[in-house]
Amino acid sequence: MTEGADFYRLQDLDSEGDKKRQRLMEVDAALGDSDALRQARQSLQSEGERVRKWGVKQRDLELEVQGLADKISREEQRLYSGTIRNPKELEDIQAEVTALKRRRQELEGDLLEVMIEREDAEAAQSEAQKHLDEVQASWTAGQADLTGEREELQGKLAEIEQIRVGLLSSIDAGDLVIYEGLRRRKGGIAVVELRGGTCGGCGVAVSPSLEWQLRQGQLVTCSNCERIIVRL
Ligand SMILES: [Zn+2]
């Protein structure tokens, strides 16, 4: 017959194993990419896209301004070359040069705005890079801690399993089946202590006859919660 103390020891080991397995699941879930890391990467990417977008706009405008400058200088050369004598034609060229210069001035204003936008985007990009570096560093440190904890938990679980196997030799096979069934149905707790004449699981008073059986070293179960009660 199974001794109450052995049953209690088995319960103790299994409860400890349950806690370690639960923690192992949490550790496994925390290992790998974190939301913070994903978000930091995403924001760096979108800031990078902003920088590229303004960069393209800036280049386009610079080319346009350069094109206008070339055209202005060609027209001015014609104007002052002395080859064109017709006053009406000279007047037309002068008017075109004036219009081209006005257009260039507008574009230079646009270009300045675009350069400011690009600088803002570059500042935000380097801020996002800094943030990602920080998140990455703390994630890496956390992963090392978690990996260490994982190894520790696995070692402890192996140890518990070894002790458990040794203990099973003193537990009756039929009792073990009852115990396992109770563990499944009773939130992992199948064996409880007698506490001041009450069941340590549900707190209901143990009848005098059951208490007498306990004193005789018999295996008794609570009439209320069905758990195995032991007297230590
Ligand atoms: Zn009970």
Span 113-172, pLDDT tens digits: 999 999 999 999 999 999 999 999 999 999 999 999 999 999 999 999 999 999 999 999
218 pLDDT band, cuts 50/70/90, is confident
DSSP state of 152: H
28 pLDDT band, cuts 50/70/90, is very high
CA–centroid distance, residue 165 to ligand 1 (Å): 27
Residue 24, pLDDT > 90, answer: yes
Residue 3, pLDDT > 90, answer: no
> Taking the CB of residue 220, how many other CB atoms lie within 10 A of it?
21
Over residues 97-116, the mean pLDDT reads: 97
Give me 26's structure tokens: 């949490």
CA–centroid distance, residue 177 to ligand 1 (Å): 19
CA–centroid distance, residue 230 to ligand 1 (Å): 11
CA–centroid distance, residue 200 to ligand 1 (Å): 7
Q: From CA 98, how far away is CA 88, in angstroms rounded?
A: 15
Q: From CA 72, how far away is CA 81, in angstroms rounded?
A: 14
Q: From CA 46, how far away is CA 120, in angstroms rounded?
A: 13
Give SS3 for 191: strand
